[in-house]
Amino acid sequence: MTKQQPAGPLLAAAIAFVLGALCVLGFAPFAVSPAPTLALGGLFLLWRKTASPREAMLLGLAWGAGCFLFGVSWIYVSLSQFGGMEPLAAAGATLLFCLYLALFPALAGGVFRRWRRNTPRDVLLFAGLWTLAEWLRGHLFTGFPWLAVGYSQSPPSPLAGWASVLGVYGLGFIVALISALLGEMIATGWRRPRSWLVILLLLVAGGVLHRMDWTQPVGAPVTVALLQGNVPQSLKWDPKRLPLSIDTYLRLAKTHPATLTVLPETALPLYFNEVPREVLRGLTSHGSALIGVAIGTTEGGYTNGAVTLTADLATNAYAKRHLVPFGEFAPPGFAWFFRFAHIPMSDFTAGPPRQEPLSIVGQRIAPNICYEDLFGEELLVALPAATLLVNLSNTAWFGDSLAQPQHLQIAQLRAIETGRVMLRATNTGMTAMVGPDGVIAATLPPFVTDALVVQAQGRTGLTPYARWGNLLALLIAVGACLTALRRRQGQSL
């Protein structure tokens, strides 16, 4: 028999693209948690067969293109439908952004092919490089860690418990390791029974960790009303429709009494000092409030803020620290972008990196605004003082897309990492309460005008991840790479 020739580069790239698209099924709303394992396992097999680092990079780029073009397609919705950008320009910008994100798996592929030793320890190199590439994507140019594979392992995945120790990047390392172990077994005719044992131990340990109570309840539960105004983005910033926003939130607050009423990001399209006092009194008619609203600064700028308000109108505020490039500020050299997109209030000032939790209704609340909850390590600065986490978001920017359920899934991982309840008040969805175990305790359907009234229990204490942040995951990733590269006795480099 003649030896079968390997698949051509174009076919391999097409397979990699499909595998990347398959990975998206692991994320909400599909939540098929094994899908990323299969997608990464297939990529590992493709990388093993490459003849050069360049070929491996191209396959990584194709894999990333499939994943991000399908997984963050909502960028196009934001730019064209609500950002005022011409459809062709919005499509081009979305494509370029997704290709930029795809550079990170491409980088991991090139390094893997250059460093791999054709030994079983290549699985460690694969997992370590994948983790380091995802961490880099989450930090370079302010970071965009959306669709990091660890997010796909939210409950009920048996691996979810690892997030309390290693965070989302460490959880991604475990997914990549299992993927490579399966790929290695396929490549060797299933002749590695120890690999099954390692996979089983990782799954069992994840289940055990998920049942551990790293934090403890503190204080009495608080009745919280999370308001979902469902104000259309196209009308929100129209001065003539200002009463629509105000009347909607006043009605929801008055008909859903609670100790704490929470309004989403920029729920009132005014500066806080412009909000009429009768509106503030209406929002606090049953108790205190936490309001998403722009706050003017003494320097003449404005911050994206969250203001606590008591019944006697005493206030305290949090200013968003991690702003969205091209949405809330223009990166240096990119001011021209806003000639093509028309985004209201797109020149925010970032708040200070460290801000004390807001004390209200007997709890210490750490707000995070919209996309800030993608950066798990940044939320840790409020711990252990904070007893509740509250996310305020205006996801109307992304229409009826994958962004909303994906964002809720991100909140599930933040809850596990911190051992805290995560409350979410959003304009159009997904308004929800997530327990400290990452399980969604209650949620509203998207695109309805309603309020979610829940009993939120504050918690104290620290998970291992809250103590170490991403350090342990990074040490494991680097250690895995060094172990894979270690010279065996009698083996040359």
- The catalytic residues are 265, 320, 370
How many angstroms separate the CA atoms of 303 and 141, rounded? 21
How many angstroms separate the CA atoms of 397 and 395, rounded? 5
Residues 6+ apart with CB under 8 A from 276: none
How many angstroms separate the CA atoms of 345 and 351, rounded? 16
CB atoms within 10 A of CB 42: 22
- In the 8-state DSSP scheme, what is residue 108? H
How many angstroms separate the CA atoms of 47 and 64, rounded? 14
- Measured between alpha carbons, how far is residue 319 from residues 31, 231, 298 in Å? 33, 23, 13
Residues 6+ apart with CB under 8 A from 51: none
Peptide bond into 430 cis (omega under 30): yes
- Measured between alpha carbons, how far is residue 76 from residues 62, 69, 481 in Å? 20, 10, 37
Q: What letter represents residue 361's amino acid? A: V
Residues 6+ apart with CB under 8 A from 102: 60, 61, 62, 63, 64, 65, 67, 68
How many angstroms separate the CA atoms of 162 and 153, rounded? 9
CB atoms within 10 A of CB 339: 7
Q: Provide the β-strand partners of residue 451.
A: 227
Contact 395, 367 (CB under 8 A): no
Closest residue by Cα to residue 43 from 57, 27, 24, 26: 57
How many angstroms separate the CA atoms of 141 and 349, rounded? 17
How many angstroms separate the CA atoms of 315 and 330, rounded? 30
Q: What is the DSSP pairing of strand 260-262 with strand 288-296?
A: parallel
Closest residue by Cα to residue 55 from 13, 5, 103: 13
Runs of H (alpha helix) within 117-276:
122-137, 163-187, 193-210, 233-236, 242-255
Instruction: Check the CA dihedral 27-417-181-203 and report its sign.
Output: negative
